[in-house]
Amino acid sequence: MAQIISFSSDYTRNAHPAILKRLLDMGMEQNVGYGSDDICRSAADKIKKACECPEAEVFFLVGGTQTNQTVIDMLLKPYEGVVAAQTGHVAAHEAGAIEFSGHKVLPLPAEGEETNTDKYGSNIGKISAKELKDYVSNFFADDNHEHMVFPGAVYISHPTEYGTLYTQKELEDISAVCREFNLPLFLDGARLGYGLMSKRTDVTLKDIAELTDVFYIGGTKVGAMFGEAVVFTKGGKPAHHIPIIKQHGALLAKGWLLGVQFDTLFTDNLYLDISRNAIDMAELLKERLQEKNYEFFLDSPTNQQFIIISDDKLAELEKNVGYSFWEKYDDTHTVIRLATDWATTRENIDTLMKCL
């Protein structure tokens, strides 16, 4: 039996109608390639304005894995690795893409994981400034550190793999440690819109631009057909970034296809408006799940919701509903992820709840 509804991820839809219309309206229009067109320049200018960071440098890549691999390679010397939470996307779900480029991921225990006492809290999936400082300090205190992989940059994601968020104070503290040790701070924003629109965040796009050295604004999961907008906030973009991108197979010849999507998303606040829908629907989903007495694996303030479900019930659910397996909870229960997105409707939630 075919599934009737999917909450498996936030990239399962095509693209926002405004983007599809814009692409259609372009018809047989010609543009120069590789992101050097006027549309990409317009999109970059709109993003810089939204970040309140006029000195930023912006370029566009096709997907999250290519972006993470390319940016990390740009930031690191050959003998350096990137520090990340052990649950960070680059450490857990990128099939060794960072290592494939010649750089090791240096994992830190993410908060809530070392003792597993905070699995229902809001810190799981994050790193802390203290853990980061201890790690880097201990590295340089080791007399053998010249024979080890140097920490060369720090990677965080906002939201995290668990849908949790950094507070402004946490980002300030991590940023301060990075400055102390001269480590670039890279923020993965694959789901950034959903983090910015969470009802429990105090972090703005301006804050992120001020506190990081480079971050990206996710389009693939937030209304675009594909694409991520990379923002170097402090002039750290390599002088010749195009060859590096091309070496990673991440340079799109028809770069304007990326530009037009972000130019549309950053017109009339569309990016944040559609992100808000995902949060509103996630809040509704949580309410409905609580009414049915489902147990949550953790408290996520964004569009990814994690519930504990019996394996018997799961066998019935998968006949009709797309979901993401997360991990086994015990011998008879499983943790699954249900993700809302920019286009989720109340009717979608109603259908899901009938299946649950």
Amino acid at site 141: A
pLDDT of 269 strictly over 90? yes
pLDDT of 121 strictly over 80? no
How far from the centroid of its chain's Cα atoms is residue 110's Cα? 16
| Mean pLDDT along residues 9-34 | 96
Between CA 169 and CA 190 the distance in angstroms is 21
Confidence of residue 4 (pLDDT cuts 50, 70, 90): confident
Amino acid at site 6: S
Q: What is the pLDDT of residues 128-179, one digit of tens each?
A: 999 999 999 999 999 999 999 999 999 999 999 999 999 999 999 999 999 9
Between CA 146 and CA 95 the distance in angstroms is 28
Give residue 116's pLDDT: 39
Give residue 317's pLDDT: 94
Give residue 171's pLDDT: 98
| Mean pLDDT along residues 222-245 | 94
Chain mean pLDDT for the chain: 94
Element (H, E) at 108: strand 105-108
Longest dimension (CA), the chain: 63
Going across the sheet that includes 214-218, the strands are 57-61, 228-232, 214-218, 185-188, 150-157, 80-85, 105-108
Q: Is the pTM of this model over 0.85?
A: yes
Confidence of residue 114 (pLDDT cuts 50, 70, 90): very low
pLDDT of 313 strictly over 50? yes
Could you tell me the domains of the chain? 5-12+271-355 (3.90.1150.10), 17-268 (3.40.640.10)
> Which residues face 151 on adjacent strands?
81
| Residue in 202, 201, 178 with CA at minimum distance from that of residue 127 | 178
pLDDT of 188 strictly over 80? yes
Token digits for 129?
């400034």
| Residue in 279, 285, 302 with CA at minimum distance from that of residue 160 | 302
pLDDT of 115 strictly over 80? no
pLDDT of 249 strictly over 80? yes
CB of 259 within 8 A of CB of 39?
yes
